[in-house]
Amino acid sequence: MTDKNIKKNQNTCSLKDVLDIIGGKWAMPIIYHLSKGKMRFKELERTVEGINTRMLVKELKNMDANGIITREVFATVPPTVEYTLTNKGEKLLPSIVSLHTWGQEFTV
């Protein structure tokens, strides 16, 4: 493999990696809402339009595994779980805001 090919693969895979992590239907809306501050599971469930419990559990687990959010459990009765954007997650915000703005300019 030539240097040129290696570089080409790295460039392309990187955008693909990003889309594997946050290209789904829910990650960006969740990040967008968490940018306003930490939220509990129930709050997220109410705030992210159209999501169901199963999808939210799955997406938060992926986002935690990918270092986008942190999950904090408090020993209340019943237990409280809070989700916060990490520094890595916060750095996605400009891209998401920019996609959101594009949407407001161009889609109904």
Cis peptide before 94 (omega within 30 of 0): no
CB under 8 Å, gap of 24 or more: what pairs does 93-101 form? 93/31, 93/32, 93/35, 96/28, 96/31, 96/32, 97/32, 99/28, 100/32
Binding of residue 3 to a copy of itself (CB under 8 A): no
CB atoms inside a 10 Å sphere around CB 9: 11
Q: Binder to a copy of itself among 7, 65, 67, 80 (CB under 8 A)?
A: 67
CB of 95 to a copy of itself, least distance (A): 4
Q: Binder to a copy of itself among 52, 65, 80, 103 (CB under 8 A)?
A: 103
> What would the x/- binding string for a copy of itself be over residues 22 to 51, using CB under 8 A?
xxxx--xx--x---------------xxx-
Residues of the shown chain interacting with a copy of itself in the complex, contacts defined by CB under 8 A: 8-9, 11-19, 21-25, 28-29, 32, 48-50, 67, 88, 91-92, 94-96, 98-100, 102-108
